[in-house]
A and B are shown apart, each in its own frame.
Chain A
């Protein structure tokens, strides 16, 4: 430990202003502060600071994602094994999925962090930890078979257009991870929809057993064909984006986020509540048992990306509502819109992504009305006192 510290102290001048490698200053800082908490002390204002920082907050989100990552890797192998009628054991399936998912994660981090570090260097800021989370979220909401070059393009788009043009982490309007997905959805629709891209190797079709369908639960629901059982969908034994399938794994992550207080329980709760209530309402209005509207409300909660979006996407503090009252409204509308898009939009089976991006856009408006109410309260006070 001491040796590493000394080494860093020795090479630090090379990266500082005026040093030979000063153009890598931001990268060096990011690496150094990754290894060591900086020795900066308070200069003005309060003399003591709380022990939490943004790095710890962001890392807790990543830890909360670990169950979904591990399950997603296993499920990639499991689904592939089903599709080819293979005989892989538990570890074999996990290893197969690991080799499929790891490249996605690596591409996402290399491209995204590269742009982040360059942007930080240009602005003279420290590298912000925001991308650590976006960088792992992006592979988790992609189909396992997405071509790596498309992923790289999507990441570049999300970081540059979604974040850096607004001024970097903390300034963006839309959730960067969802923007990456939206980019693939609009630019390369065939790579993110259909029945074959959700399972590794299915697009090529080599060795696939006859009659095997790789359709997701949402696609089945749309087509009016039977969906997997609630248990299978809750546990995640179904095709889908890498990290979205297992509601159980997501809920384990949610528990950590709620326990540490990193994510807003108000948003999480109201998203599920909004989705569930709208689905119940549709159940009641349903013309017949064959209609999509008759899909049981609890199935909606575990199908597709609803749970993943509610737990990890809607709760993004930067793009979500910032007032406590606004968070209730914001979450409720996300859940409600997601179900409405799912059921009534003919083009695309999943509604969560579009719903969250839509409400990201409206979050400032929601906050505006909440804050206006506060301003009015304050003005009213003056009138009374006069």
Chain B
């Protein structure tokens, strides 16, 4: 019955099946249970979480803040503010080279006081009132725009808004589980977003749990179902296969966590970004979910770290990644969770030599997308992967590899070379508007020449922003 229903819904909605891609079989998938509610002592707001942001500091050390008090703003548009996730006192402003702002650290009091935000009735408010509320609340940065994956300019109305209802990246949190209790907030968030664009809201769900997902019942959305390996859950890949971004067009993307936060803003009048994130990876004792705030410190989850492993690799130091292994940041054991990250991955540093490893026919615990290893014969095996580069950096030699993990009508190698040559016209013609770093992360993973492809794309996007503004 259930299968029949699933098929029925897939026929009803717009179903797209993608074949190209790869699910990296990393060990340490989170079980669907909440094992801790974290109330952090110190949290941080990090400008580096926001692409191409030039921050203006709004607080100084010693200032008292509430949850939702703006602590910095975008210099290019001071209306866009970034808020403290908790109430407390600004203890430290950390600066790097050339006084670059790195972190605003906030010592939490335990009171959890919220700044009250006056919100209009979302059913009768105008588009401008809604946008102004989003801007002053500090939730505006949860929206990103395509092209480029940056925080959008509030003046420009987008062609449409796209939401990916699932995350397919390695060990990604199960959004259905993490937002189970937030269904109503999500629906209100959708109602609000719907008033910001004439093009409607596209929501994509995974075909496999289309029916079991609570979100297939959401109203005022255009439903799509997707099937296939990662990067199928990337909103960029979904946009490309539904209605691609063309030159001059702007599309907004939001994740469901943020939609829920927007809903809560308009019902409760507070900046409530508390969420369930997954603690995952081969070096986690009990991979599961914790409730926390963005900007929480990694020391708050240190009891999850598997410090004494059995194998040589499991005895290596641990890398703390905020986010997943493809796009996350190496923040270190004392770093802070990124604003957009819903996951923490702990894995071993691969700082070891392996004799003749490159030619051994069988290497235990090594996974490869290619058939040059036998790992493809055991598709269900999960690997305790580490951060070893598994080779040396070389020039581009092999061809046809990137295409296998990029389900888009784009010639990746030619696009990357156009970026390296800083050829703006070519970049535009070959599709720079349609990709951001996360979409090509798998190309970087499989690259036998160990090229830093996300960095290349990042530079390309920066160049486009500079040249096109």
Contacts and interface: CB of A to CB of B under 8 A. Distances in A.
B371 A259 contact: yes
A51 B373 contact: yes
A54 B401 CA distance: 13
A371 B414 contact: yes
Given A53-B391, A169-B397, A170-B394, A38 B353 contact: yes
Interface in B359-394: 359, 363, 366-373, 375, 385-394
B372 A48 contact: no
Contacts of B388: 37, 39-42, 49
Contacts of B326: 46-47
Interface in B417-446: 429-431, 441, 444-446
A54 B366 contact: no
B394 A126 contact: yes
A48 B445 contact: yes
A28 to B, nearest CB: 14
Contacts of A374: 409-411, 430
Contacts of B385: 48
Contacts of A130: 397
Interface stretch (B138-146, B225-233, B452-460): B452-460
A122 interface: no
> 9 tightest A-B contacts by CB?
A53-B391, A170-B395, A37-B357, A36-B353, A51-B366, A45-B454, A51-B368, A41-B387, A37-B354
Contact of B395 (A48, A168, A367): A168
Contacts of A55: 358-359, 391-392
A47 B397 contact: no
Nearest to A30: B392
Interface string A46-75: 111111111111011000000000000000
Range, interface on chain A = 35 or more
Interface in A11-59: 33, 35-42, 44-57, 59
24 contacts: A5-B355, A37-B354, A45-B441, A45-B452, A45-B454, A45-B455, A46-B325, A47-B321, A48-B385, A50-B369, A50-B445, A51-B366, A52-B372, A52-B373, A126-B392, A130-B397, A169-B394, A170-B394, A260-B370, A262-B398, A317-B398, A367-B414, A375-B429, A378-B246
Given A40-B389, A56-B372, A322-B413, A49 B445 contact: yes
B387 A378 contact: no
Contacts of A260: 370-372
B411 A371 contact: yes
Interface in A311-335: 317-318, 320, 322-324, 327
B464 to A, nearest CB: 15
Nearest to A169: B395
B77 interface: no
Given A35-B356, A317-B397, A317-B398, A52 B319 contact: no
Interface stretch (B50-58, B209-217, B343-351): B343-351
Given A38-B389, A381-B246, A322 B399 contact: yes
Nearest to B429: A375
Interface in B318-342: 319, 321, 325-328, 330
A126 B393 contact: yes
A261 B371 contact: yes
B409 A54 contact: no
B244 interface: yes
B359 A54 contact: no
B248 to A, nearest CB: 8
A323 B411 contact: yes
Contacts of A54: 391-392, 394, 397-398, 448-449
A33 B392 CA distance: 8
A385 interface: yes
Most B Cβ at <10 Å: residue of A36, A48, A379: A48
Contact of B363 (A51, A126, A318, A382): A51
Contacts of A44: 452, 454-455
Interface residues of B, number: 73
A367 B417 CA distance: 13
A264 interface: yes
A381 B356 CA distance: 50
A1 interface: yes
B99 to A, nearest CB: 23
Interface string A164-192: 00011111000000000000000000000
A39 B386 CA distance: 11
A4 interface: yes
Contact of A51 (B353, B367, B393): B367
A57 B387 contact: no
Interface of A: 1, 4-5, 33, 35-42, 44-57, 59-60, 126, 128-130, 167-171, 259-262, 264, 317-318, 320, 322-324, 327, 367, 370-371, 374-375, 377-379, 381-382, 385
B396 interface: yes
B229 to A, nearest CB: 15
Contact of A35 (B355, B392, B431): B355
A260 B370 CA distance: 7
A49 B389 contact: yes
B445 A46 contact: yes
A378 B350 CA distance: 42
Contacts of B392: 33, 38, 40, 53-55, 126
Contacts of B127: none
A227 to B, nearest CB: 36
Contacts of B45: none
B425 to A, nearest CB: 10
B363 A128 contact: no
B255 interface: no
Nearest to A54: B394
A324 B454 CA distance: 23
Nearest to B395: A170
A45 B453 contact: yes
Most A Cβ at <10 Å: residue of B368, B387, B391: B391
Interface in B161-202: none
A371 B387 CA distance: 35
B247 interface: yes
Contacts of B363: 51
Given A37-B357, A170-B397, A320-B399, A49 B391 contact: yes
A378 B370 contact: no
A288 B355 CA distance: 62
A73 to B, nearest CB: 22
A169 B359 CA distance: 21
Given A38-B392, A51-B390, A55-B358, A324 B403 contact: yes
A206 to B, nearest CB: 43
Nearest to A318: B397
Contacts of B354: 36-37
Nearest to A381: B246
B372 A262 contact: yes
